[in-house]
């Protein structure tokens, strides 16, 4: 039996990533991810982010494992993804934890398609 090669990202994953980009507030994010994921999955993802935060603060693997009640193997895996992954952890960590200006930052345009975003049409009041 041939082993099927895993493809990343799949079209379904790309659709999910596009949907996530539509989240406009923290409240929407809280509600969307709670509907999408179980509490255990959310806890796991939150723990991984805490590992990234602690790794960026140069906390030891053993201390991180103890503080978050995870194995050092899990911390090592997250550290590997942070240093040699696809750059996702590193990109977001640099925006969140680094106080230097982000060279990749581009201010979003104020107008979309000639209309003020979020504004009601004053002629239809």
> What pLDDT, on a 0 to 100 scale, did the predictor assign at position 53?
95
> What pLDDT, on a 0 to 100 scale, did the predictor assign at position 77?
96
Q: How many domains does the chain have?
A: 1
pTM over 0.85: no
6 assigned to some structural domain = no
Give 30-72 pLDDT, tens digit per residue: 999 999 999 999 999 999 999 999 999 999 999 999 999 999 9
Q: Which of helix, strand or coil describes residue 70?
A: coil
| Beta strand ranges found along 36-110 (DSSP E) | none
22 assigned to some structural domain = yes
Q: Give the Cβ contact number of residue 52 at 10 Å.
A: 22
Beta bridge partners of 112: 115
Q: Looking at residues 94-109, what average pLDDT do you find?
A: 64
Residue 80: give the domain boundaries: 11-92
102 assigned to some structural domain = no
Residue 46 belongs to a domain with what CATH number? 1.10.1270.10
100 assigned to some structural domain = no
């Amino acid at each position: 039996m041939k082993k099927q090669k895993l493809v990343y990202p799949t079209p379904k994953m790309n659709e999910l990533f596009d949907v996530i980009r539509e989240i406009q507030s923290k409240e929407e994010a809280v509600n969307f991810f709670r509907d999408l994921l179980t509490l255990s999955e959310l806890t796991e993802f939150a723990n991984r982010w805490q590992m990234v935060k602690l790794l960026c603060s140069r906390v030891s693997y053993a201390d991180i494992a103890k503080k978050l009640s995870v194995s050092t193997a899990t911390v090592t895996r997250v550290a590997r993804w942070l240093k040699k992954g696809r750059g996702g952890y590193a990109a977001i960590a640099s925006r969140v934890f680094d106080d230097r200006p982000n060279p990749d930052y581009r201010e979003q345009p104020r107008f979309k398609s000639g209309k003020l975003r979020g504004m009601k049409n004053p002629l239809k009041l």
